[in-house]
Structure 1
Amino acid sequence: MTAAFVFPGQGSQAVGMGKALAEAFAPARAVFDEVDAALGEKLTATMWDGPADKLTLTENAQPALMAVSVAVMRVLEAEAGVDIKRDAKFVAGHSLGEYSALAAAGAFSITDAAKLLRIRGSAMQKAVPVGTGAMAALLGLELEAASAVAAEAAQGEVCQAANDNGGGQVVVSGNKSAVERAVEIAKAKGAKRAMMLQVSAPFHCALMQPAADAMAEALGKTNIKVPAVPVVANVLAQPISDPKEIVKRLVEQVTGTVRWRECAAYMAGQGVTTFYELGAGKVLTGLLKRIADGATGTPIGTPDDVAAFKAKRS
């Protein structure tokens, strides 16, 4: 087993995502119907018809992205005979994608994943008043240098590395004034580019503690099983399978750094040579090329992608 299934995070959403899958495949329709039922609303209407700003709302984007990812997984199982336990060494996801990975591997039901991500998205949005927090991308600095920039910029406020995406791309998160300082310090310290991001809240930093508390409560009431294959946890960059540890790490992930570079490097170091990105977009596929030398990344999110995957396997 030299493959891993990986699942995208927020920012990969686009109006229309998953629609062609639903039209082409009954297993995909079943996933979208289950998500709509779990949330008591037609999230699929927003996913397929927009408006884009409604889909981008964190409380909608998170369950929507999970729905597309798990729909792809179910289609691959039905159409291409994929068995995650047999065909994948690991699963992993970027931020909310960790929930998609766990749902795909059977650790929780689609209904529970949708409800958890609705709570997570809503709690992350409410944790910090709009305009108080911010995030910025620092390009051309590795994690250690970016963390030093964040520490210098904090000046008594919150500023920390939120995402270590690999290829010299680190995102910092925290109080808006501190993040603005980080952009200027990063430029002075040789970053190729440093820019504020259009986000609705400062994710993956200490300001998200109220959301972490909400997730601890919600996850504590959720039935979590041992996943079919280990999930490489964002906050550890190590594989975990124990349900109690899964809860602990998902709670930590709300305020902790998404160590994506290390997650991908760990999987590559364990012999993974093929990464399949299941769901919307191909952000992770692009990042993987910069992290894991010689590994191939293949995004699967449309009926054509499914057909190409099947053709390769036959």
Structure 2
Amino acid sequence: MRAFVFPGQGSQKVGMGTQLAAASSAAREVFEEVDEALDLNLSVIMAEGPEDQLTLTENAQPAIMANAIATLRVLENDFGVKLAETGSCVAGHSLGEYTALCAVGAFDLATTARLLKLRGQAMQAAVPVGEGAMAALLGADITKATALAEAAAEGEVCEVANDNDPGQVVISGHKGAIERAVALVKEYGIKRGVLLPVSAPFHCSLMQLAADRMAEALAETPPGTLALPLYANVTAAKVTDPAEEQSLLVQQVTGRVRWRESVAAMHAEGVEHFVELGGKVLSPMIRKIAGEAEATSLLSMEDLEGFASTL
């Protein structure tokens, strides 16, 4: 069994998608459609920067999605490899869950781009800049990270945001609480705490206003039928019902990204090959979670050609 997986925020970089766009009309059409949907030359920002514009949450989220969907379209149109025929399920990390839904036909490309632009704007607006923070805990498992977060909270919000792999957990919340947590890591047997260069405290209860905005948006443009099952971030469980997934996308804004558990669940169901489209962020995590499974990253035309030749 094979799972196709899609990266989240942090995987963006200036120059993304340029090789694919130069080599394939299928990729160019994706970038053009996203530009039109957003009424923004996002493809130029992706290709040329400036970096600070690309890293803005409202730009980074649709850009990462567009790059991954362009990679998928090239795989399908130029190499004849259809996701619905060669995959057993899909999953995505945070915003990558929207990309996964686009990949299986639950959202069209323009809708996905607009939802992610709104999601980025809503998440940024939910907490004033400087009030929230996030930190990566290296050498931490979920038990240690949870204990640390509870100790550091002191009446403020300090919650596990991402359970990425057996040795990396991300916490999110009020800036003071996150800074206290970083200072306490050694006391909880955690190797290191690193403050992340993010503009808002994602995936914690401080994001409730953003969740409310996404609930309204998703009520107007709900997901449709999924061509393949999806493993949802907030449950780490298989979803096939669009109405259930609509609710889970709202919960995802404030909820924990259970990536480690999601990969473990897919592997337990028989997935032996994970294929990451448009990034090289998830594959190292997958190898730590399900070491005996194969993890492949597809970014370039050479990557796609090599993968297609193995099928």
- Helix, strand or coil at the partner of 1:122: helix
What residue identity is the alignment partner of 2:188?
A: K
1:135 pairs with 2:120: no
Count residues in correspondence: 311
Residue 31 of structure 1 aligns with an amino acid whose one-letter code is V
Q: Name the structure 2 match of 1:306.
A: 304
- Cα deviation code 1:61-84 (max 9, x no counterpart): 000000011111111111222222
The letter of the residue matching 1:110 is L
Instruction: Please show how residues 206-285 of structure 1 align to structure 2 within 5 Å.
Output: 206-279=205-278, 281-285=279-283
Q: Which residue of 1 aligns with 2:185?
A: 186
Structure 2 length-normalised TM: 0.98
Q: What letter matches 1:302 in structure 2?
A: S
| Aligned counterparts of 1:197 and 1:147: Cα–Cα separation in 2 | 18
**1:296 aligned to 2:294?**
yes
Where do residues 145-184 of structure 1 align in structure 2 (5 Å cutoff)? 145-184=144-183
**Alpha-carbon deviations, 1:247-283, whole Å to 9, x = none?**
100000000000000000011111111111001x301
Q: Does 1:122 align with 2:117?
A: no
Amino acid at match of 2:169: V
Structure 1's consecutive aligned runs of 4 or more residues displaced over 3 angstroms after TM superposition are none
RMSD over equivalenced CA pairs, Å: 0.9
The answer to whether the 8 A contact 2:75-2:81 is kept is yes
Question: Could you tell me which residue of structure 1 aligns to residue 5 of structure 2?
Answer: 6
Counterpart mapping for 1:28-177 below 5 A: 28-177=27-176
Deviations 1:179-234 (A, max 9, x none): 11111222221111111111111000000001001100011110421110011000
Equivalent-residue separation in structure 2 for 1:238 and 1:258 (angstroms): 12
How far 1:308 moved relative to its partner? 1.2
Q: CA deviation at 1:152?
A: 1.1
Structure-1-length-normalised TM-score: 0.97
Deviation at 1:307, TM superposition (A): 1.6
Structure 2: 5+ residue stretches without partners: none
Q: Is the 8 A contact 2:57 2:124 kept in 1?
A: yes
SS in 2 for 1:112: helix
Does the CA-based 8 Å contact 1:274-1:295 persist in structure 2?
Answer: yes
Tell me which amino acid in the other structure corresponds to 1:245: E
Residue 16 in 1 paired to residue 48 in 2? no
What amino acid sits opposite 2:195 in the alignment? M
CA distance in 1, matches of 2:192, 2:185: 8
Note the alpha carbon deviations across 1:64-105, whole angstroms, 9 max, x for none.
Answer: 000011111111111222222221111000000000000001
SS at match of 2:136: strand
Distance 1:20 1:40 in 2: 23
What code does the residue aligned with 2:246 have? V
Mapped to 1, the partners of 2:24 and 2:240 lie a distance apart of 30
298-307 or 94-103, larger mean C-alpha shift:
298-307
- Letter of the 2:276 counterpart: E
- Say whether the 8 Å CA contact 2:138–2:168 is kept in structure 1: yes
**Structure 1 Cα separation of the partners of residues 188 and 143 of structure 2:** 13
Task: Answer yes or no: is the 8 Å Cα contact 2:236–2:262 preserved in 1.
Answer: yes
Identity within the alignment, %: 56
User: AA paired with 1:205?
Assistant: C
- How far apart are the structure 1 equivalents of 2:172 and 2:226? 31
Contact kept? 1:84, 1:228, Cα under 8 Å: no
The CA distance in 1 between the partners of 2:168 and 2:215, in whole Å, is 29
Partners of 2:96 and 2:127 in 1: CA distance: 22
Shift of 1:310: 2.2
Is the contact between residue 231 and residue 240 of structure 1 (CA under 8 Å) also seen in structure 2? yes
